[in-house]
Amino acid sequence: GENVEQHPSTLSVQEGDSAVIKCTYSDSASNYFPWYKQELGKRPQLIIDIRSNVGEKKDQRIAVTLNKTAKHFSLHITETQPEDSAVYFCAASIGYGQNFVFGPGTRLSVLP
Amino acid sequence: NAGVTQTPKFRVLKTGQSMTLLCAQDMNHEYMYWYRQDPGMGLRLIHYSVGEGTTAKGEVPDGYNVSRLKKQNFLLGLESAAPSQTSVYFCASRRQGRYGYTFGSGTRLTVV
């Protein structure tokens, strides 16, 4: 079955710096890769996603890149702000199906 | 428009007790999911439903049962609670053809 690994598990950056979180997946049939942000005590919220027919997608300070050959995708946050501090989860669709496997999460801390 | 509502928000159970968690969505979504979230393990799928009257097992279904008698409600039952079921439980829903989840606010369950 699908296995999703995520690195690093914790990440601290200075405000204004960039942050990169990487995920790898095992199922070559996976075709959709969302990223969720979960603030402390809150529900996960979708922040960006990418489909397998696209190599990169950008939304303001957030971007996601996908390398299907290597089976990895990454979240890039530029000009980080304190409100970016949260746990970020990547996920990969299970084959062509409608369910997802989540990575274990990355706790991002943006230091002022 | 409430989105996805979970009840209760907190609960403490004794080992062997039973309980039902309720998830209700008012977005007319076809798909509904129950996840559990444990530290360092991300979100793991317990059961899911692709429509009224249908349910299916996810990654970690043992010890749980579900029912989807109405399209807007998805119930998660614990017949005989165990300490290993101490976790935060999230319900999610999404529209058929769309991949992004809408999560509920979570239920923190402690089994002592």
Which letter does DSSP use for residue A9 in this model? S
- Judge whether A100 and A31 are in contact, CB under 8 Å: no
Residue of A42, A89, A98 with shortest CB distance to B42: A89
Share of chain A above pLDDT 70, in %: 97
| CB-nearest partner of A44 from B58, B99, B103 | B103
The pLDDT tens digits of the residues spanning A70-105 come to 999 999 999 999 999 999 999 998 865 678 899 999
Confidence at residue B81, expressed as pLDDT on a 0 to 100 scale: 96
Of chain B, the end-to-end C-alpha distance in Å amounts to 36
Q: What type of residue is B70?
A: K
pLDDT digits (tens, 9 = 90+) for B15-30: 999 999 999 999 999 9
What value does the mean pLDDT of chain B take? 94
With contacts defined as CB-CB under 8 Å, which chain B residues touch A36? 101
Q: Which residues contact A41 (CB under 8 A, 6 or more apart)?
A: none
Q: Which residue has the higher pLDDT, A53 or B62?
A: B62
Distance from CA of A63 to the nearest CA of B (A): 17
Residue B48: list chain A partners with CB under 8 A.
Answer: 99
CA distance A17 to chain B (A): 25
Total CB pairs under 8 A between chain A and B: 45
DSSP A84: G
For the segment B34-51, the average pLDDT, to the nearest whole number, is 92
Q: What's A40's DSSP letter?
A: T
- Flag whether pLDDT at B86 surpasses 70: yes
**SS3 labels along chain B:** CCCEEEECCEEEECCCCCEEEEEEECCCCCEEEEEEECCCCCEEEEEEECCCCCCEECCCCCCEEEECCCCCEEEEEECCCCHHHCEEEEEEEECCCCCCCEECCCEEEEEC
Q: How far apart are CA B83 and CA B16, in angstroms?
A: 9
Provide the pLDDT confidence category of residue B49 given band limits of 50, 70 and 90: very high
Per-residue pLDDT tens for A27-49? Answer: 888 989 999 999 998 999 999 99
Give percent of chain A with pLDDT exceeding 90: 80
Q: What pLDDT, on a 0 to 100 scale, did the predictor assign at position B1?
A: 60
